[in-house]
Chains A and B, each alone.
Chain A
Amino acid sequence: MVPLSYYLMLGGFLFACGVVGFLIKRNIITIFMSIELMLNGVNLSFVAFAAHWHALAGQIFVFFVMVVAAAEAAVGLAIIIAVYRTRETLNVDQVNLLKL
């Protein structure tokens, strides 16, 4: 039998990797993928808790997280394409015109 804490730790590890990726990566698309990794870690925690406490709403919430992630991916990638068109680069360090 698998204790609940194992699922939570796996979800937490995925979330932590997402945060690390968000902080250390310089390519916009990879940063975006780290956000998706974070969302996946959270989804695993939702489903694990739903299984543990027999609260089926946890599963349904994962659907909504997936839908929101899809909408966010579509709009975010459109923004990335627009940024690439004007700045000709995908490196976030070079998109710094508003910096002091």
Chain B
Amino acid sequence: MSIHLILFLAFGAVCVAGAVNLLAQSHPINSALSLIAVMAALAGEYLLLGAEFLAAVQVIVYAGAIMVLFVFTIMLLNAGEEERTKGSRVAVLFGIPGILLGSVLVGWVILRHSGTEAVAAGALPGDPRTIGQLLFHEFLLPFEITSVLILIAIMGAVVLASKPPTSPAGGEVRQVD
């Protein structure tokens, strides 16, 4: 029962509890907070694997910026509690057992094939220097493309979320002849 296993189980328990709570809660704000807990526990898991820079980026970007965006949207749109419709009851009845069956199957296959080879604690060289060298030498093209992708996403989000122009803008009615 090494300390590595204990920490893994502790963070894993928080992940599992957060994921299940996301499904169980009916108000979206509670689901959002559970997701933040999942992300923070995942940052702990990354630390156990040695990816320290990735853990910090997970907290700063995912839990600290993307989820803030979600929480803003929930607050601004004043999303209330969910309603249960016919479609959702059917989905719960068939979906949950189906996914449980699927995940048990996948878990069995994983256990059969990867066995008990252990991953050492801190196995990855996850320091910023290594990541920086990889990111800017081998992965430079994907890096630049993702920066263009973010630019496109910013423009798209601004255009989509801006208020539509009130009609009639400009005033003239075009004659059709």
Q: State the A residues within 8 Å of B (CB).
A: 1-10, 12-14, 16-21, 23-27, 29-30, 32-34, 36-37, 40, 43-44, 47-48, 50-52, 54, 56-57, 59-60, 62-64, 66-75, 77-82, 84-85, 90-91, 93
Contact = CB atoms under 8 A, between A and B. Distances in A.
If over half of A's interface residues share one DSSP class (helix, strand or loop), that class is named, otherwise mixed; here it is helix
If over half of B's interface residues share one DSSP class (helix, strand or loop), that class is named, otherwise mixed; here it is helix
Given A2-B8, A48-B49, A9 B23 contact: no
A4 B114 contact: yes
Given A4-B118, A64-B146, 7 more contacts: A2-B48, A3-B114, A33-B35, A50-B124, A51-B120, A70-B153, A74-B153
Contacts of B22: 17, 21, 30, 33-34, 37
Given A20-B96, A24-B88, A54 B123 contact: yes
Interface size class of B (residues with CB under 8 A): 35 or more
Given A12-B103, A74-B157, A26 B87 contact: yes
A20 B20 CA distance: 10
